[in-house]
Structure 1
Amino acid sequence: MSTTLEPTAADRRRWARYLVEERAEGRVYRRLADRKQGEEREILLELAEAEHRHEQHWLGLLGGEPARLPRAGLRSRMLVGMAKRFGTVFVFALAQSAEARSPYDTEAFATAAMRADEKIHHEVVRGLAARGRRKLSGSFRAAVFGANDGLVSNLALVMGIGATGVSASFVLFSGIAGLLAGALSMGAGEFVSVRSQRELLAATESNDDVAAAAGDLDIDENELALVYRARGVEADEALVKARRVVEAAKIGARKPSTGPVAAGRHADHDLIGSDWGAALSSFLLFSSGAIIPVLPWIFGLQGLAAVVTALAMVGLALLGTGAMVGILSGGPPLCRALRQLAIGFGAAAITYALGLLFGVGVV
């Protein structure tokens, strides 16, 4: 589109808004760069420089710095503050969402290069966000799953028990029992899962026996190549590998205990993690969620007041975990939050209805 159109007052107000948004985005990238080193720092500084070029474009159209400028949008101001104080994963996820909604596709006064820049920025930020997500995907999944499971399961339990008309002390006892039973089950399940993975890895990984005996093998006639072929290596490549190992062993160049096989073995075990650590974290994460529905009864509330308070507290927690999932996945936080809320309250509603159906009274 041509930029020779006669600008109106509305155009100039829009340019001023673009200007402050570009400046805010540049500050976000520079602050994130201050927290990074190496390649990621260079990428972020390049993004900041691109935002500066866009800023200069709007300044040129405005004829210089305006006497008054609007405030940047709430999302941009939040990103600037978060970039200074919080982890980069959350900021990248929010920045990815912001870059996806560039207004320049329909802006007559934006250049084609600027529109292309915004699309590229979205992909760059998506890549940076993906790096952070990969680093915490396992621990984040465990945290959200454990806490959310505790929230939903124990809310459903106390709602169902409470609807039968039993005493407040019985509801409290049931909630505490549900917390302990669920947390112990989660912890035991994680312990067995991680321990089983480590045992399976130990049973399937290679050992150093072959390497230790390699020096005594015939360099032309030996079965070492079969070891590599059994691991999926092609026949010709397996023979080359076998000869290389035998030659190294004969001149004393190979040290099995510090070789790449041993290093890879330790790396695999480190990736899986500790069975006791996984069990303890699962126990604590489930407990942190499961304690929330029980708090009203712990503090002496009864009847409808306890039920409403429990629903409100759990609802806020579900909205929080759902929004966090949305932020880190690059999706809309509100939709993810409402989905979590609907799932949790749906489960509670079912058990509450069953409690009313089979109980001895109402709460």
Structure 2
Amino acid sequence: MNAPTNATAADRKRWAKYLVDERAEAKVYRRLAERKTGEEREILLALADAEGRHESHWLTLLGGEPAKLPRPGLRTRILGSMASGFGSIFVLALAQAAEARSPYGSEADATPAMAADEQVHHEVVRGLAARGRRRLSGTFRAAVFGANDGLVSNLALVMGIGATGVAPAFVLFSGVAGLLAGALSMGAGEFVSVRSQRELLEATKPSDFAEVPLTEVDIDANEVALIYRSRGVDADEALDRARKVLAAAHNGATPQRVVTVDEDDIVGNAWGAAISSFLFFASGAIIPVLPWLFGLSGVAALVLALVLVGIALMATGAMVGVLSGTSPLKRALRQLAIGFGAAAVTYVLGLVFGVSVA
């Protein structure tokens, strides 16, 4: 495609903006690829190459490298700065949202292939981000749930106790007691949950054929096939596997273990989950208590507790939004509304049953 002769200044400005954004996005993918190996590295480099093809399209329309280029968009600059210092899951989650908002679908000067590329890129980045989310899910769930529970439960506790008008020392004691009780409860609950899940998985593991020599068992291929079928294998494949196992056994080979479920599912370590839940809950629960720890009391302590917890709630909510590929602001406001809603209920109860705020 040759550079059009009737291009307006606005057209050239828009093309130049697309050009710098494509370059910046390609740089992001290459930076991420530097920290990856194997298939993920190859996918990220392929995405960078595709952005390079788009860059060439805009250079052609511009008739070569412009003397002056605009800065990339704010979102692209943020992605670039995060690509070097943050985990790839955060960058990919933001890139997923950016690819979903590609303007090429309605851009007359972009080719249909470019618009289709951007749709494909969105799905590819979503897939890469999903891999990271799966790897992160257990730890992230414990971190967010633990910290959020600590923030909300202890804020509600100190707001309710503080509203009764009791001495600041009693509010502080209640907050610390709530922190310890909640953290211990979270830790114990996580320990029991993980240990129970591991025990359930252990009970569902398939047995080892090597425990019984198949050549000495009065059994035919159809009955062996039932074992496979009970584990989710279709009838034809189950029969084929059974015949192979029996043939190997009769030839003197050691029968292989029947594995039709993923035994590498990571459940986690019970003690590790318990300790992390304890620490995450405590890290959240300490924040509402800080004003009283530093000697404040009354309305000043309550307001500061609300401000500190509000910031923390919005931060955890925004993080969930980024990682889930949804609006960080909406998730932040949702967390804030839930936390402050719980605190408002206990505060009103404290006013009803108390005297006044000292």
* TM-score, reference length from structure 1: 0.90
Match of 2:304 among 309, 330, 333: 309
Q: Contact 1:219/1:243 (CA < 8 Å) preserved in 2? A: no
Aligned to 2:348: 353
Distance 1:223 1:171, change over 3 A: same
Q: Contact 1:150/1:289 (CA < 8 Å) preserved in 2? A: yes
Greater Cα shift, 92-101 or 30-39: 30-39
Letter in 2 for 1:33: A
Distance 1:57 1:231, change over 3 A: closer
Q: Contact 1:25/1:76 (CA < 8 Å) preserved in 2? A: yes
The structural deviation recorded for 1:53 is 1.7
Aligned to 1:17: 17
Secondary structure, in 3 states, of the residue corresponding to 2:212?
helix
Match of 1:299 among 278, 294, 298: 294
Q: Is 1:327 aligned to 2:322, yes or no? A: yes
Aligned to 2:50: 50
Aligned to 1:197: 197
Aligned equivalents of 1:84 and 1:119: distance in 2?
25
Deviations 1:40-61 (A, max 9, x none): 2222112112211222222222
The structural deviation recorded for 1:219 is 5.6
Deviations 1:76-105 (A, max 9, x none): 111111111211111010001111111222
Greater Cα shift, 224-233 or 91-100: 224-233
Aligned equivalents of 2:221 and 2:103: distance in 1?
69
Aligned to 1:100: 100
Greater Cα shift, 83-92 or 193-202: 193-202
Q: Contact 2:221/2:239 (CA < 8 Å) preserved in 1? A: no
Q: Contact 1:211/1:245 (CA < 8 Å) preserved in 2? A: no
Deviations 1:90-121 (A, max 9, x none): 10100011111112223232222222222221
The number of aligned residues is 356
The structural deviation recorded for 1:220 is 4.4
The structural deviation recorded for 1:154 is 0.6
What 5-or-longer segments of structure 1 have no aligned partner?
A: none
Letter in 2 for 1:192: V
Letter in 2 for 1:50: A
Aligned to 1:82: 82
Distance 1:237 1:357, change over 3 A: same
Distance 1:55 1:305, change over 3 A: same
Aligned to 1:28: 28
Secondary structure, in 3 states, of the residue corresponding to 2:71?
coil
Aligned to 1:41: 41
Distance 1:21 1:239, change over 3 A: closer
Q: Contact 2:147/2:280 (CA < 8 Å) preserved in 1? A: yes
The structural deviation recorded for 1:228 is 4.4
Aligned CA-pair RMSD: 2.5
Aligned equivalents of 2:225 and 2:52: distance in 1?
59
Letter in 2 for 1:337: A
The structural deviation recorded for 1:301 is 1.4
Aligned equivalents of 2:219 and 2:247: distance in 1?
7
Deviations 1:306-359 (A, max 9, x none): 112111111111111011101010001111111111111111111111111111
Letter in 1 for 2:179: L
Distance 1:255 1:350, change over 3 A: same
Aligned equivalents of 2:243 and 2:341: distance in 1?
64
Aligned-pair identity in percent equals 71
Aligned equivalents of 1:220 and 1:97: distance in 2?
55
Deviations 1:104-139 (A, max 9, x none): 223232222222222221121111111111111222
* TM-score, reference length from structure 2: 0.91
The structural deviation recorded for 1:5 is 8.2
Greater Cα shift, 99-108 or 352-361: 99-108
Letter in 1 for 2:104: Y
Q: Is 1:273 aligned to 2:268, yes or no? A: yes
Letter in 1 for 2:350: G
Greater Cα shift, 20-29 or 38-47: 38-47
Q: Contact 2:148/2:316 (CA < 8 Å) preserved in 1? A: yes
The structural deviation recorded for 1:297 is 1.0
Aligned equivalents of 2:31 and 2:229: distance in 1?
51
Aligned equivalents of 2:304 and 2:30: distance in 1?
44
Aligned equivalents of 1:80 and 1:145: distance in 2?
30
What 5-or-longer segments of structure 2 have no aligned partner?
A: none
Instruction: Trace 1:194-343 onto structure 2 (pairs within 5 A).
Output: 194-208=194-208, 211-218=211-218, 220=220, 224=224, 227-228=227-228, 230-231=230-231, 241-254=241-254, 259=257, 261=259, 267-268=264-265, 271-343=266-338
The structural deviation recorded for 1:240 is 5.0
Aligned equivalents of 1:212 and 1:265: distance in 2?
23
Aligned to 1:115: 115
